[in-house]
Structure 1
Amino acid sequence: MTHHPTAVRASGLTKTYGAGVRALAGVDVDLHRGRFTAIMGPSGSGKSTLMHCVAGLDRPSTGRVWIGETELTELSDDELTVLRRDRIGFVFQAYNLLPTLTALENITLPFALAGRRPDPEVVRAVIEAVGLADRLDHRPHQLSGGQQQRVACARALVTHPDVVFADEPTGALDSASSAELLAFLRRGVDDLGRTVVMVTHDPTAATYADRVLFLADGHLVGELLNPTADRVLDRMKSLEGVNA
């Protein structure tokens, strides 16, 4: 078994909402650096809650989370905001692009917000990987949905984050655009050395990952390495049987 250093670690995570609704029930997980991990599970299994807790977007009820050597659960809200800005990339189903900025300005926005200059070599490598060199001066409304989502991915990768979290990133895309986007995330891992963690319900999307983690009822219930769509589908069917 190859040992991969850990980018994100969670220990004993629980999350309970409002009237005792338990979304996570004691999750321990290591997410490996320089790897592409997919998180899957039936609706209501806790997969988005897990991502939000390990990405510092939500605080767990109990348990601890580390990104690298930094324990998130010890940080103040202001410190968490800085950590998310400087060390984490996010890709959501909604592209979250600013309509008045060009594609290039949207990609380099994190640097503008932090008052830093981007490394032109890194920007060029990301733009090349995302295949948008001829679209850089276009505004979001002049781009297709797939191109807008690739701009959002490029923005998430360009700051050299410790980890990129993608929450159903292909949810609003057709199958051709989805395949392009997933291939780009895969290249981010293979060519740029990034760490990607993606929540998805799509077995085909999961095949781009090195490892798939399965959740059911707030518990981590298994994993697949080097997944195929058929194996993912079989595992999901058995989990949905459990949850039915």
Structure 2
Amino acid sequence: MTAAPLAPHTLRTRPGIAAATTDLSKVYGSGDTRVVALDQVSIDFREGEFTAIMGPSGCGKSTLMHCTAGLDTPTSGNVRIGTTELSTLGDRQLTQLRRDRIGFIFQAFNLLPTLTALENITLPLTIAGRRPDQQWLDRVVSMVGLSQRLDHRPAQLSGGQQQRVAVARALAARPAIIFGDEPTGNLDSRAGTEILGFLRDSVRELGQTVVMVTHDPVAAGFADRVVFLSDGRMVDEMAHPTPDRVLDVMKNFDTKNVGTKNVGTENSDARSRTS
């Protein structure tokens, strides 16, 4: 029996929540090689909001994104996209959910070299056997500035243009939530700023929900809020971030010894000023 399609934007954990984790843990290995990548992380990603995930190298930020997006399986805890609990889905249903309700943007672009920009943008819809909403597609293509480049293949595009294609591809199916793993990591500062601006516009103008992993305070400054991880735990968050304020928080991280109490206390004033 074929499962019914999981339509975007129709199911919610509760009003305003696009995705959520509860007591999410991820452990690799055992004994002396045991590594706790995530340690009981509970977080909501609100609809129509741009959230950046930050923290020291190895703190678990990419693991959090991969588990929330259904790309990795947690050791314990729960993940929901809307009201859909990921642990209740079989492999086929999980694949369908990722295809229909989640968009992905990675720093490697992941474009097929033999396809044009337009064909790359619409590829997920083609695989799903769905026709694009032409009005929506035109709006997305216009927003990312690709109207004159749709017939070009990736080799004929700059790195920034290729990432624009990746952004448009993520938006084309109108997913419930978009995840970006260092989406500007392979770009120069000008192209990176353009991509971040497009993501910001997708939230403000299109009502999109975006979750981005980044190590860059400037990139985090485009977000509505930043959540900070350390040693696999969520230790702080900041609303209305600016690059300088984010950098101040990051300077307080000691990758060998940082605790929730210390980081939260140091930034409680910053949170009160922005809440």
- For the 8 Å contact 1:34–1:193, the answer to whether it is kept is yes
Distance 2:152 2:192 in 1: 21
> Which residue in 2 is equivalent to 1:175?
189
Deviation readout 1:184-208 (Å, 9 max, x if unpaired):
0011111111100000000000000
Moved over 6 A (4+): none
TM-score using structure 2 length: 0.86
Aligned partner of residue 153 in structure 1, secondary structure: helix
Distance 1:87 1:133 in 2: 25
- For the 8 Å contact 1:33–1:194, the answer to whether it is kept is yes
- Which of 4, 22, 25 matches 1:14? 25
Q: Is residue 200 of structure 1 aligned with residue 214 of structure 2?
A: yes
Count of residue pairs brought into register by the alignment: 242
Q: Describe how 1:154-233 pairs up with structure 2 within 5 A.
A: 154-233=168-247
TM-score using structure 1 length: 0.97
- Which of 127, 130, 153 matches 2:141? 127
Distance 2:101 2:230 in 1: 29
- For the 8 Å contact 1:216–1:243, the answer to whether it is kept is no
Aligned partner of residue 85 in structure 1, secondary structure: helix
Unaligned segments of structure 2, at least 5 residues: 1-13, 259-275
Aligned partner of residue 109 in structure 1, secondary structure: helix
- For the 8 Å contact 1:42–1:243, the answer to whether it is kept is no
Q: Which has the larger radius of gyration?
A: 2
Distance 1:82 1:197 in 2: 20
Q: Percent identity?
A: 62
Distance 1:4 1:206 in 2: 25
> Which residue in 2 is equivalent to 1:84?
98
> Which residue in 1 is equivalent to 2:3?
none
- For the 8 Å contact 2:38–2:231, the answer to whether it is kept is yes
Aligned partner of residue 252 in structure 2, secondary structure: helix
Q: Is residue 115 of structure 1 aligned with residue 129 of structure 2?
A: yes
- For the 8 Å contact 1:37–1:198, the answer to whether it is kept is yes
- For the 8 Å contact 2:50–2:224, the answer to whether it is kept is yes
Q: CA deviation at 1:163?
A: 0.2
Q: CA deviation at 1:239?
A: 1.5
Q: CA deviation at 1:21?
A: 0.7
> Which residue in 2 is equivalent to 1:95?
109
Q: Is residue 5 of structure 1 aligned with residue 8 of structure 2?
A: no
Distance 2:242 2:198 in 1: 19
Q: CA deviation at 1:4?
A: 7.1
Distance 2:236 2:217 in 1: 15
Aligned partner of residue 133 in structure 1, secondary structure: coil
Higher relative contact order (CA 8 A, sep 6+): 1
Counterpart residue type for residue 16 of structure 1: V
